[in-house]
Every structure is written in structure tokens, then in C-alpha cells.
Chains A and B, each alone.
Chain A
Amino acid sequence: MAVIKTLDDLKKRQEEMKSRVNLRDKAENPESLVQVKVAMATCGIASGAKEVMEFFVTELDKRSIDAVVTQTGCMGYCFAEPTVEITLPGKEPIVFGYVDAEKADEIIERYIKEGELVDGIIPQNYNTI
């Protein structure tokens, strides 16, 4: 192991190591971050949810958006798979259907960044019937 000779070295080392524990820091208060939940149950995986998740994880990081990306089980919207639920800090969760890479990009640029509603929202009222 290399010796850390100055405080700046130490800070550099910290920067390098941050990614190891980043997720753990974020998980401490998810409410203050953008939360993305990708439905990854059987039908979800079949319809490409894994790629969508991959996309969110790498792209959000690249575009410097503090977010927690998790997977969930069946959301009950199998017809619209892959589905993604987005919760902006302090807002109600919104579910998007038929999400592919292109849609995901639009969601990040327009909904997550600007808060604009984009097509493909699945109305959630019927799961309260």
C-alpha cells in the first residue's frame, strides 16, 4: 500500500474510495434523492428491465444526478413492462410503462431534471379500487 504523505493525498484517496460506499451513504436518507424503482419480476426481466436498470444506473451517475436505483418485484402492470417508478424528493411516486433506453433518456432529461410530465405515465388510481 502506498503511504499517504499529505492531507491532499488523503483527500485524493477518499475520492477514489467514495464509490465503494456511495450507495451506502445515499441509502441513509433516500427521501432526499431521486428514487428510481425498476420492476424486475419475471415478466420484467423478460421484457428488458435489466437493460433499463443498467441504463439508469450509469446515465444518472454520468449526468451527476444523485439518485438511488433499486429493483422491485411485480408492480401489477405486466402489460406495460418494463415499468419504472420515479419518486422525486417530496413528490408522489409516478409509474412509467414501456420503458426502453430511449424512453429512459427522456424520463431523465424531462421528468427528473425538469419535472415535466412525459407520455407513458400509468394512472395509478386503479390500484386503489
Chain B
Amino acid sequence: MSHYKMHLLVCAGTGCHASESDLVYEMLHDEVERKGLNDDVQVIRTGCFGFCEKGPIVKVLPDNTFYTQVKPDDAREIIDEHVIKGREVERLLYLDPETNEHVIDSKHMGFYKKQLRVALRNCGTIDPENIDESIARDAYMALGKVITEMTPQEAIDLIKRSGLRGRGGAGFPTGLKWEITSKNQSDRKFVVCNADEGDPGAFMDRSILEGDPHSVLEAMAICGYCIGASEGLIYIRAEYPLAIRRLKIAISQARSYGLLGDNILGSDFSFDIKLRYGAGAFVCGEETALINSMEGHRGEPTNKPPFPAEKGYLGKPTCVNNVETFANVPVIVLKGAEWFSSIGTEKSKGTKVFALAGKINNVGLIEVPMGITLREIIYEIGGGVKGGKKFKAVQTGGPSGGCLTEKHLDTPIDYESLMAAGSMMGSGGMIVLDEDDCMVSVAKFYLDFIVEESCGRCAPCRIGSKRLYETLDRITVGKGEQEDIEILKNLGSVIRDTALCGLGQTAPNPVISTLDNFMEEYVEHVHEKKCRSGQCRDLLYYVISEENCTGCMACTRVCPTHAISGERRQPHVINQEVCIKCGACMEKCQFDAISLMKDYPREVQLTTK
């Protein structure tokens, strides 16, 4: 038996893959071989460590040394210095953004301290292309336990007691969904894994599938046993080639071990899984649209009821769950419902994976217990707002969600509290915004996405979202009126109440939540034609400083609209009504007298008119 003294884990997730982690792996591997260290050192490709921004990541065990941004050329130094001589390669260590010191050990990185990895338990620890490593870390043990020791109802009760809720957005109790599907009698039933992940910026499901595919396969089989289904389908977007490849490998390895297929582990339970590919439309993540798409129809939602649990794929009872929801199941079976429900808040149990992004020092994939506060996430795990800027808001829930502000920083986050704050858990996107972000523009960004992604089936969403977008656009270019704010409010609530599917129903959320929390920014845009964060280009003004202007008249000659006036050797003035913001004057002025401002002195304007 092998006794490796050292493991070198090389991240092979999509993020690191894109920055040549494959080559890093090859080089490390070759170097280990060249130095004759094969018996002592094992080099393994793993899934995502969650620290993709600083990838490729190489972690050295057992010392937990965490190397970031490793290049293929660094391989030799890592082997020579660290592996052979036991000295860390300092320049590759993670630099703490607060103290500006190198952190040797991932245990001491703020990023990992407050995390609790349940769904991501194996991501970054095992080789996802090797089923044996998964088995060594308990894969299929839960399935074995369920089919040999429990009745379907007992297993359903266990999931119900654990308090697990859907991680795909709505937070529906998973055990209950399984129970409902199990009670609907039919000759055929289906288990569907929703791996569409359409929320822009979200990549937690992809990372789970890439880093630990067996956890999802196993959970789907457990679900099949519980609801009485023998067929599973994974609906995955075609833009996830690496996840698809790993899934294919995992499915074929599980089949050859007999862990998928007929009579699993000698029981009379049979279950197999196939892949279905989506074209990547956001609306196809909605379960009825997803089912339509799998049947070869247009990926459009249909009215609920009937729910998929009753009439789903091919008209048969179908249980649709999200990737992360599934990834939690095997651990719950092995560690118990009580263990799981001891984590989290009263109504939201367990953990949630978030994709932390935006103006934050540690961008990445994190998994935290429910009930953690935004402050802990942003300042402890995230390492604070980038560049020491002032925090403004956090956007959660993607295009269906809203913004949380300063006053929510200490609210324990779970499904209910996010809802109460006017946002949503959603699939787990979490974007930090600072003083340089304009909240009207943020709302406009999401509405733009919705307009693109609306399937067009129902009018409130197709036409209403377009109107919302146009109104926001007017406001950001300085043409907004008070009336526009009223339009946003009224139209928003009409769309929310009348759209057919969740996409449309939640589309106004980014608008409503920014109106609620940042009304003053809307008012400024509309009445003062001012954008305090300087994001709206049309609300920036070229202004001549009275002090610096020598009155050389160079600018007046280049201005295409004759917006600049003034006597020779006297300070000049730009008429904002006429200026088209071409910037020519600023470029021409040799005395740095012209600058772009968020405000302009209105009195001066009035006197020149």
C-alpha cells in the first residue's frame, strides 16, 4: 500500500483550467518523476477551491500550504524548494489584503476561517475523475445505507426532519417535494437534476459538478429510491464542457462499479442517469420550461398547477431538484437529520454556497452556515471592500433579487430574512457594490438581462420589462421626470402580480428594492441630473475652473457646438445646455483647467445665459 508523504493538489476547475492549471499539473508531475519522488509525492487534479480569481491554485498537504497564481514555470521551484527542502516558496503564497503579509497555511486565511463546507466537502480535496477517491470519502455509502436499511418513507422522513430546502431559488422543503412525488402513482417517474444555472455570475453548481460529481449522482439515486423512480436526467447547459466531461466520466465509472444500473448493491432497486443539454437560456432553469425543453419543445414555462411532481417529464411525476440541493443529501443520510438541522437558523437549515463577486478583496466561491451575517461574509471571508472604498450594498439573488444595505449588515441571512429585506436567496449570486456603483444603473443592468431573456410568452413580462428598462434608461441619461419614478413603482407591482412564471414575477425586484433603499439616488438623477457615483456618463459635466483657466481660447476653437464662451484672458465657461460631452476641450486645454464633474455650478450657468 502506498504511503505518500505529500500530496500536491492542483485545481482543475474551470477558472484555474483557463489559466493553464493543466500545464502546471503536467510540470509538477514530470518534475516529481524526474526527481524520483513518485513514491513519496502524489500529484492530484481536484475541483475548485473557491479562490478562482487567484488561480491556478496549488495546495500542498499535509502542511496546507496554499499557493496562488502558480505558473507552469514555478513547478520546479515548488518541487526543489518546498517538497525537497521543506521551504515554502514565499512569492507564491497568498498575500493577506489587510496585513499585506504572506499567509502560509490555508487554515489561517480569513477566506476559509468562517466557511463550513458541506455541499463543497470534496471540492478541492479529491480527484473528481477517480471514483475510488470519492468512495474513500464516503461516496455511495449513503445510498447503500438507504437501500439496505431504510424504507423509502423512512428516508423521506429523514430528509424532512433535516429541514433541507431547495437551493435553486425558491427554498421549497426537499423532503416534502419527494413525499408528494412518491405518492403520485405511475408506471414511470423521473428524477431531474437542474444544472441550468442561468444567473449571471453564478457558478456554484458548475463547481460542484466539476469537483464532486458523484455526490450528485448518488443523491439522485437516493431520490429515485424514495420516490419510486428508476430514471434520472441531468439538465445541464452546453456551455459547461468541463462539468459535462466529468459527469460523463463519473456516470460511466459508477456504472462499471454497478453503483448505477440494475439491482444496485444486490437490491431490487435499479437506477440510471442520462444527460440532457440546454442551450443556456435563463428561463430554461424554471422547472416547467426545463421539462418542455427536455421534451424537445420550446423552452417556455407553462402554468402551474399541475406541478412537475404530478405531471412532469413526458407527463409523468417528476422530482426536480437543484445540484446543490442534491449535494447535501448524502451527508444528511450519513451524519443524520439532527446534525444537519443543528446548523443554520430556525427555518433555514444547513449551509449555502455563494459566488462572492464585485468590489471585494477575496472574490470566490464560499459556503457558509445559514444565519451568518453579511458583515462576516464581506469583512471576514471577503477581506473587506476593495481599495478601502465605502460599502454601499450587496446584490443577492441575481436578476430575481434585490439589494441589501448598510442597515442589513448584521441581519443573520436565511431565506426569510432576505425576503423580508426585499431580496432573495436565489441561487447564490452575491455582488458587493461600493460608493462608485450607481444603483439606478445596477437596476438597469438586471432589467437589460431580463429583456434579453424573457421568452415572450406573456405580455406583462415581454412588454412590461421593456418599459421598465426604457424608463430606467431615461433616468440614467438625464431625461427622467418625477413621473418616471411613479411608473417604475406601479408597473413593477403589476408585472409582479400578473407575469406567468417566476422570471417575470421577480423581474421588477431589482428596481423595487433599489427604489426602497436608494430613493435619494433616483431623485438626484431625475431632479438634479446628477449621478453621485459618476457612473452615468450623461450626467457628468465638463467644467472649467475659474482659477486655472488663462483664457487662452484654445478650447473654444475645438468645441464643435460652440458651447464655450469667454473673453480673451478671462475665465471661460461651458454652457451645459449646448455641450455634447465630446471631451475635445479637455484634451486641448494645456492648463488642466477643464475637468469632468458630477456637479456643475448652476449659478454660473444662469448668469451666462
A residues with CB within 8 A of B:
1-7, 9-11, 13-14, 17-21, 23-27, 30, 38-42, 44-45, 53, 57-58, 61, 68-74
Contact = CB atoms under 8 A, between A and B. Distances in A.
B115 interface: no
A20 B136 contact: yes
Interface string B424-444: 000000000000000000000
Contacts of A20: 2, 42, 132-133, 136
A9 B148 CA distance: 13
A14 B141 contact: yes
Nearest to A7: B144
Given A13-B135, A21-B137, A53-B5, A4 B265 contact: yes
B1 interface: yes
B418 interface: no
B394 to A, nearest CB: 30
A41 B135 contact: no
Contacts of B64: 27, 30
B135 A24 contact: no
Interface string B135-146: 111101100110
Given A1-B256, A3-B258, A5-B266, A18 B136 contact: yes
B62 A30 contact: yes
Contacts of A3: 256-258
Contacts of B84: 40, 45
Interface in B241-274: 253, 256-259, 265-266
Nearest to A58: B3
Interface in B41-79: 42, 61-64
B601 to A, nearest CB: 62
B464 to A, nearest CB: 50
Contacts of A44: 86
A113 B31 CA distance: 37
B86 A21 contact: no
B64 to A, nearest CB: 6
A71 B86 contact: yes
Contact of A19 (B3, B86, B145): B3
A38 B9 CA distance: 22
A41 B85 contact: yes
B7 interface: yes
Which 3 pairs of residues, A with B, have the shortest CB-CB distance?
A73-B87, A71-B86, A17-B136
A69 B140 contact: no
Contact of B86 (A4, A25, A40): A40
B3 A21 contact: no
A58 B3 CA distance: 8
A64 to B, nearest CB: 14
B395 interface: no
Contacts of A26: 62
Contact of A17 (B125, B133, B148, B258): B133
A95 B592 CA distance: 65
B591 to A, nearest CB: 58
A39 B86 CA distance: 7
A21 B85 contact: no
Contacts of A14: 135-136, 138, 141
B555 interface: no
Interface residues of B, number: 39
A8 to B, nearest CB: 9
Given A4-B258, A7-B148, A20-B133, 17 more contacts: A7-B265, A13-B132, A14-B141, A17-B135, A19-B2, A21-B126, A21-B136, A23-B61, A24-B61, A26-B62, A30-B64, A30-B107, A38-B86, A57-B5, A58-B3, A69-B5, A73-B85
A53 B9 CA distance: 21
Interface string B535-574: 0000000000000000000000000000000000000000
18 contacts: A1-B256, A2-B257, A10-B259, A10-B265, A13-B132, A14-B136, A14-B138, A19-B2, A20-B133, A21-B137, A27-B62, A27-B63, A30-B107, A41-B87, A58-B3, A70-B63, A72-B86, A73-B86
Contacts of B253: 1
Interface of B: 1-7, 9, 42, 61-64, 84-88, 107, 125-126, 132-133, 135-138, 140-141, 144-145, 148, 253, 256-259, 265-266
**Most chain B CB inside 10 Å of its own CB: which residue of A19, A21, A39:** A21
Given A4-B257, A19-B1, A41-B86, A10 B144 contact: yes
B22 to A, nearest CB: 21
Contact of B125 (A9, A24, A69): A24
A15 B138 CA distance: 10
A70 B256 CA distance: 37
A27 B265 contact: no
B136 A23 contact: no
**Most chain B CB inside 10 Å of its own CB: which residue of A13, A39, A44, A71:** A71
Given A17-B136, A23-B62, A73-B86, A5 B258 contact: yes
A10 B88 CA distance: 39
A84 to B, nearest CB: 12
Contacts of A45: 84-85
**Most chain A CB inside 10 Å of its own CB: which residue of B9, B61, B87:** B61
B250 to A, nearest CB: 13
A41 B81 CA distance: 9
A23 to B, nearest CB: 5
Nearest to B9: A24
Nearest to B1: A19
A95 B42 CA distance: 28
Contacts of A53: 5
Contacts of B136: 14, 17-18, 20-21
A24 B5 CA distance: 11
**Most chain B CB inside 10 Å of its own CB: which residue of A9, A20, A69:** A20
A75 B5 CA distance: 20
A42 to B, nearest CB: 7
Contacts of A72: 86
A7 B148 CA distance: 8
A21 B42 CA distance: 10
A68 B88 CA distance: 18
B104 to A, nearest CB: 11
B265 A6 contact: yes
Contact of B61 (A27, A39, A40, A58): A27
Contacts of B265: 4-7, 9-10
Contacts of B257: 1-4
Nearest to B132: A17
A29 B137 CA distance: 15
Contacts of A2: 257
A3 to B, nearest CB: 4
